[in-house]
Copies of this chain bind each other. A is one copy, B any other.
């Protein structure tokens, strides 16, 4: 899923006007291969299994990706941002589910919720750049493991 031929990620990065480096290509590959949005910490941990890369580099790579539209920064119910593939990369916008028990986040299908806001956007005095829809609750794994206890 989201797998590309060798060399795919570097050119995806360059197509967005950014310099491709080994670290950046790997960060993007990790993002692209994940079913669900990841924290910078998770990305760094994955990356560190194969090569030593500083966490600052991960943060900075993610920053430029978000800036360029290659990745998307998603807020969750906890204090860490999550990152997923962005609009520039064949990715339809979709809502997310955040489990307040285990902290996992999952992507929901784009059609899971129907959101109508054209009327609002047309008359709103500010500029709306993006919309985030997030459901918080308890995921099915945690439900099975012992309920929604606080």
Q: Which A residues contact B (CB, under 8 angstroms)?
A: 67, 75-77, 79, 81, 97, 99-100, 108, 112-117, 120, 124-140, 142-143, 148, 150
Interface of A is mostly: mixed
A128: chain B residues within 8 A (beta carbon): 97, 135-137
Q: State A120–B114 Cα separation when bound (angstroms).
A: 10
Within the oligomer, what is the number of copies of this chain?
A: 2
Q: Sample 27 A-B pairs with CB under 8 A, ordered by A number.
A: A75-B77, A75-B134, A79-B79, A79-B81, A97-B128, A100-B129, A112-B124, A113-B116, A113-B117, A113-B120, A114-B115, A115-B116, A115-B133, A117-B135, A125-B140, A126-B138, A126-B139, A126-B143, A127-B138, A129-B136, A129-B137, A129-B148, A130-B137, A131-B136, A132-B135, A133-B133, A134-B134
